[in-house]
Amino acid sequence: MNPDVAFLSEVAREAGEILLKHWGRLESVEKKGARDLVTVADRESEAHIVARIRDRFPGDAILAEEGHSEQRATSRLWIVDPLDGTTNFVHRIPHVGVSIAWCAGGEVTVACVHNPLLDECYTATRGEGAMLNGRAIEASGTSELSEALLATGFHYQREFQPDSNLQHFVDFGVKVRGLRRLGAASCDLCYVADGRFDGFWELWLAPWDVAAGGLIAWEAGCVVTDFDGGDGWLFGRRIVAANATLGPKIREVLAAAESARLPGPHWDGDSAR
């Protein structure tokens, strides 16, 4: 038996209720790094999602952000972010999502991203289109960078990354209508799927950041690739999502950046300079 969007939506909405219970009521916030936060809301949401998956699909493997991950010899994999946009959640900014994706044979097949604060539930099944609260959605048809509203984000440890994305942000800033950095990649990808954003790019993302949103964008008519135009976006840590005309233009700007002027450490052999 394979999962369907009804099951993913049900679990995501249940996890969303857990997040709502903690919204504006967090008593403490922990740090996983200098900027990377985790809360009781993240952990309770993940525990619930994992328990529901294990109860219904006990033979499937799970890859989840907050530690409920396991390696199994199976082609069936769940990829879960129990609270994408934790920093937004802590600061009471309602751009957050519960992201759940199911993969079969290495391909994302069913996906859901639910924002409980806005009651927006995006879903997709491969080959069947994308939905927002049961209504079909489609990506923007914008074809020119000068008319595009793009979204992106920045890694928590950006000062230690060889490409921090800051120069790309500057490069696009003089070419596009506008740029947004909202802080939850799964939701950003859904906004591209829904035509709110015309495109999205980002580096150093984990699979749980992009798995569900990537399929939703694809099923809404986007082309979802890595920076080279290939299909390595899920585990390759670089993603571009836009329609078939705009996507190559985004990748062209990214490719034109000179590595020597990208902020962050530059590697010479085994050492940074």
Same structural domain, 113 and 232: no
Asked whether the predicted pLDDT for residue 2 surpasses 90, the reply is yes
Percentage with pLDDT > 90 across the chain: 81
pLDDT at site 207: 96
Overall average pLDDT of the 93-106 stretch: 97
What mean pLDDT is reported for the chain? 91
* CA 124-128-132 angle, 5° bins: 40
Helix, strand, coil in percent for the chain, rounding step 5: 35, 25, 40
Asked whether the predicted pLDDT for residue 264 surpasses 70, the reply is no
Global model pTM greater than 0.85 = yes
Last residue of a domain, one of 83, 114, 136: 136
pLDDT at site 67: 74
Asked whether the predicted pLDDT for residue 269 surpasses 60, the reply is no
Q: Would you place residue 273 in the very low, low, confident or very high pLDDT band (cuts 50, 70, 90)?
A: very low
Over the stretch 111-156, which tens digit does the pLDDT of each residue have? 999 999 999 999 999 999 999 999 999 999 999 999 999 999 998 6
Among 71-80, 97-106, 206-215, 248-257, the range scoring the smallest mean pLDDT is: 71-80
Q: Which of 99, 85, 94, 93 is nearest to 39 (CA)?
A: 85
Residue 269 counted as domain residue: no
- Interatomic CA distance for residues 184 and 95, integer angstroms: 7
Over the stretch 4-60, which tens digit does the pLDDT of each residue have? 999 999 999 999 999 999 999 988 888 776 666 889 999 999 999 999 999 999 999
Q: Which residues of 82-109 are buried (b: 16+ CB within 10 A; e: fewer)?
A: bbbbbebbeeeeebbbbbbbbbbeeebb
Same structural domain, 40 and 72: yes
pLDDT at site 65: 84
Asked whether the predicted pLDDT for residue 88 surpasses 50, the reply is yes
pLDDT at site 268: 42
Q: 43: Cβ–Cβ under 8 A, 6 or more apart, which residues?
A: 66, 82
Same structural domain, 81 and 192: no
Beta strands in 66-214 (DSSP E): 76-84, 97-104, 107-115, 120-125, 130-132, 135-136, 149-151, 178-180, 199-203
Q: What total number of domains does the chain contain?
A: 2
Same structural domain, 106 and 24: yes
Same structural domain, 9 and 77: yes
- Interatomic CA distance for residues 189 and 171, integer angstroms: 21
Pairing relation of β-strands 238-242 and 267-268? unpaired
Over the stretch 190-219, which tens digit does the pLDDT of each residue have? 999 999 999 999 999 999 999 999 999 999
Domain range for 14 is 5-136
pLDDT at site 33: 62
pLDDT at site 262: 65
Residue 124 counted as domain residue: yes
Last residue of a domain, one of 112, 136, 160: 136
Beta bridge partners, 121, equal 114
Q: 182: Cβ–Cβ under 8 A, 6 or more apart, which residues?
A: 85, 88, 95, 151, 153, 188
Q: Which two tokens stand for residue 84?
A: 């994408």
Burial of 262 (0-12, 13-18, 19+ CB in 10 A): middle
Among 19-23, 125-129, 251-255, 256-260, the range scoring the smallest mean pLDDT is: 256-260
Q: Which two tokens stand for residue 217?
A: 């964008």
pLDDT at site 259: 66
pLDDT at site 164: 83
pLDDT at site 161: 67
- Interatomic CA distance for residues 217 and 96, integer angstroms: 17
> Are the CB atoms for 124 and 173 separated by under 8 Å?
no
